[in-house]
Structure formats: structure tokens, C-alpha cells
Amino acid sequence: MRRLLFALAALLSLATPAVAETPVERHGQLRVEGNRIVDQHGEPVTLRGMSLFWSQWMPQYYTPETIRWLRDDWRVTLVRAAVAVPEGGYLEHPERETAKAEAVIDAAIDAGLYVIVDWHAHEPEPEAAIRFFSHIASKYGDHPNIIYETWNEPLREHGWGEVVKPYHMAVVPAIRALDPEGLIVAGTPTWSQDVDIAAADPLPFASIAYTLHFYAGSHRQQLRDKAQAALDQGAALFVTEWGTSEATGDGPIDEAEVRRWWDFMEDNHISQANWSIADKVETTAALQPGASGEGGWTDDQLTESGRLVRDRLRTMNPETSAAER
């Protein structure tokens, strides 16, 4: 009888597929330890995913259907909500843009993904940012999914010591008051490239990483050298936005440089989100014009950049395969 019971148990185990952990179940609350982002087990973690486009211009992709498709088909572990601040964004329509952010956050939590809540601005807007992030941290601060990106891309003229660091010194405590443990990614000058300058004069808070952005056709070894200098100074980095083309978002794909960047990020456990889920007619847009906001995109609805990045994500994130869920 005992042998029969063991045999039945074995058959049942074969018939019932294992349910894979979601990325958030696997890694839990992220934090910074030295120059690495680590998970709940203290192990370095490398998240790989996609950024949505400016929220005021591509709202059709701020949907649960898009997020689920990115999880199940693209196998992302991370999504990024680029909450537009100027040009018809949060400053003019705070309730509307906040609702878009919340739709993506709710979908990411439901899908077990990490989500970057990105204050997508080039100019400092500390009062509005404090209001926005205080709301987000109050509502979602108990979820380990949330990653706060406090300023997307300060411009070249916004010096670290003069403008950018004081901005973060105002905004970060507002988040910390409501979410003491959440991972915060702080933008750096020159469109988030001067990570070495920030690393030399770091923010005095725990669990802070610094934003590094690159576009492969424009930013090559010189920027990787700056990134390495920041790492050598003990800063943790997070590539919250990168593109396959020139910094304009257009021009040819530089696949050789893309692959050099991929190697650099993997070697240094740097998480990253590709720009972008959009159907704009430009090189870095992942989708062809008219691609649905409900996902389900076929290969011919992806651009060359979209196919390149999707293939990479599916190779590097096999554990999030829909077949395992």
C-alpha cells in the first residue's frame, strides 16, 4: 500500500506543473549594499525590463494588458512608468498622470514585477515631486515592488552640488518618511551621465543608487569609464533608460555597442530598462505604429529595436516564462 501511495504521489507531481516564483517573490525588498543592489537574501540582483514612453503622449500602453504581456511574452522582471512632468504632464494634469502611474503600479504588483516610478522631467520641480512621491509612498510604500526614480534627466547645466543634490536632499526625505526601506534611484547631471561626480559627493541616505542613461549610438567607452569610476568609488548604479540608437532616439541601431553595454551591465550586476514601449516612428520605439495597448504583438508589429531587445530579455530572463506560471 505504501508503495502504491508513493507511486500515486509521484504521478500527481508530474501532472501538476510547478508554479514559478514571480521576480518579487524571489527577490523581495531590494536594497543597496556597497556598490551593488541586492535582494532579500543579500545576493546581487540584475533586473531587466522595459520603460514605457512619456505618459502624456503614449497613454495607450499604461494598461494592465501591456504589463501582463511584457511579463508573459517578453519575460521582463521590471517595468518603468515614465510619469511626464512638463508639456501637458503632471504639472498641468496631476490627477490624470497620477492615475496612469497607479494603473501601471497596480498591474506590476499583480504581475509580481518590480516597477520604477519615474519623475520624467529635465528641470527641477521639487515641490511637485514631493507631492507626487509622498502620495505614491503613502499608498504603495509597503510593497517591495516599488522603485522610486526621483529625477529622470537633469540637464548639463544642473550641477550636482549646486542643483541636483539639493533637489534630492529635499525629495528623498519625503519618501523616506513614508517608505523607510524603498530603493531610490537618483538622477545625475548631463542627462544622467555624471554618475562619477555624484559618487564623489554621495547622498547621505541608505538604499540610494544613481541613474545612468546611455544611447548606444552616442555613448560608448568614455561613458562606461565614468560608470566604472562611480562603481570604484562605491556607488550603486541603475540604468533606468537606455536606447539602441543615437541619443536623439533615432538613427541607426549600433548593435555592437549595445552588446558591449550588455556585457558591462551583466558584469557589474547593473539593472536596466530599455527605452521604450511606444509606437512612435523612431528607432528606439519597440512597436510599429498602431500596435495595440492590449499586448499580443506579433513579430511584424515589433521594430528592429523591439525584436533585438525582446530576444535579449527572453534569453536573459528565462525564469519569468509564462509557461512556468
Tell me the pLDDT tens digit for each residue of 176-203.
999 999 999 999 999 999 999 999 999 9
Q: Coil, strand or helix: which one is 147?
A: strand
Q: Is the pLDDT of residue 40 over 70?
A: yes
Q: Residue 303's domain spans which residues?
A: 23-324
For residue range 137-167, list pLDDT tens digits in order. Answer: 999 999 999 999 999 999 999 999 999 999 9
241 in active site: yes
Q: Of the residues 241, 266, 282, 304, which is catalytic?
A: 241
- 232 domain residue, yes or no: yes
For residue range 289-298, list pLDDT tens digits in order. Answer: 999 999 999 9
Identify whether the C-beta of residue 273 lies closer than 8 Å to the C-beta of residue 79. yes
Identify whether the C-beta of residue 171 lies closer than 8 Å to the C-beta of residue 130. yes
Q: Of the residues 97, 153, 246, 257, which is catalytic?
A: 153
- 12 domain residue, yes or no: no
Average pLDDT, the chain: 93
Element holding 115 (H helix, E strand): strand 114-120
pLDDT of residue 318: 79
- 320 domain residue, yes or no: yes
Residue closest to 81 by CA, chosen among 232, 280, 276: 276
CATH code: domain of residue 293: 3.20.20.80
Q: Is the pLDDT of residue 322 over 60?
A: no
- 10 domain residue, yes or no: no
For residue range 235-266, list pLDDT tens digits in order. Answer: 999 999 999 999 999 999 999 999 999 999 99
Q: Give the mean pLDDT of 81-104.
A: 98
Q: Is the pLDDT of residue 211 over 60?
A: yes
Q: Please report which residue ranges of 141-273 form alpha helices under DSSP H.
A: 165-176, 189-192, 195-200, 221-232, 255-267
For residue range 8-38, list pLDDT tens digits in order. Answer: 433 444 443 445 699 999 999 999 999 999 9
- 4 domain residue, yes or no: no
- 236 domain residue, yes or no: yes
Identify whether the C-beta of residue 160 lies closer than 8 Å to the C-beta of residue 197. yes
Q: Is the pLDDT of residue 321 over 60?
A: no
Q: Say how many domains are in the chain.
A: 1
User: What proportion of the chain, given as a percentage, has pLDDT over 90?
Assistant: 91
- 69 domain residue, yes or no: yes
Against a cut of 0.95, is the pTM above it?
Answer: no
- 252 domain residue, yes or no: yes
Give the span between the Cα atoms of 187 and 182, in whole angstroms.
16
